Structure 1
C-alpha cells in the first residue's frame, strides 16, 4: 500500500491534508505531522519513523528544502521504501495522492506539475491585456 506523510513547520501539513481531502476525497493514506515552537525536531523524526513499515511504500513531503523538518527526515531515505520530496504545494500533493504508482517517473512528473503550477498572475493578466488592446498602458 502507498502512503503519504506530510511534514511541516506549524500547521501547514494539517491544512494541506484537509485541502487534499476537500479536492479529492482522499484521506485514508495521508498523515500530517507538524513541528511546533519549543518542540525538539527529533520528535518529528520519531513520529514519522514509527509510521514506517516494510510492507508499504511511503512518500514524505516536507515544506521547506533544507529546513529542519526536511533535514531530520532525510536519513529515512536509506530505507528502500521511502521517497522524500521537499517544497510542498497543493498541486504536487494532489498529483501524488492521485498517482497509481510511485515509480520514479511518476514522482518526477508530479514534481514538474507542482513547479509549473506556480504562476505570477499579475504578469499573466498584463500579457492578456496587451494581447487584447495591443498595448497594456492604453
Structure 2
C-alpha cells in the first residue's frame, strides 16, 4: 500500500460492493479498498460510525478517493464527514469503466486522479441504436 491512494466506494444497497467485485474479476484483487452500502433500515449515526471504521482500516497517506453512486444521496452526504482528511477527493457517478480507470491509476497524485475520473466519465458512455448496428452490418458486408 503506501504508494497508492486509498479508495472508498459508497452506494445505496450493495452496488459499491458488487462494483468492486466486478472490477476485481477483470483486473484482479485490489488492496486498500473499502465499500459501504446504505440500506433502508440503516441508522445515520451508525452509518457515520461504520464510515469512520472503514476509513481507519485504509492507508490514506497518499490520499483518499471516495466514489459514491449519485449526487445528493445519503452516501454522498455521509462522505462529507471525511472533509478533515488531507488529499481527499469525493466523486459521484460510480460505474465500472470509472472504477477500472481508478484502480489502474491510483498510484497517481490526487490531482491527476481527478483528471482521470473526469475523462473516464466523458469516455465511458456509448449510446447505440438499431440503425448503428445496421450501418455496421452494411459496412461489414461491403468489406466481404
TM range (shorter): 0.7 to 0.9
Q: CA deviation at 1:128?
A: 5.3
Q: 1:15-61 deviations in whole A, cap 9, x for unaligned?
A: 01101111111322221111111112333332222333563521111
Worse-superposed segment, 55-64 or 43-52: 43-52
Q: Equivalences for 1:1-138 in 2 at 5 Å?
A: 1=2, 2-52=5-55, 55-99=61-105, 100-122=107-129, 125-127=130-132, 129-130=134-135
CA contact (8 A) 1:91 1:117 kept: yes
Aligned-CA RMSD value = 2.3
* Larger RCO (CA under 8 A, 6+ residues apart): 2
CA contact (8 A) 2:30 2:103 kept: no
Q: 1:68-110 deviations in whole A, cap 9, x for unaligned?
A: 1101212313421321111101111111111121331332222
Aligned to 2:142: none
TM-score, normalised relative to structure 1: 0.80
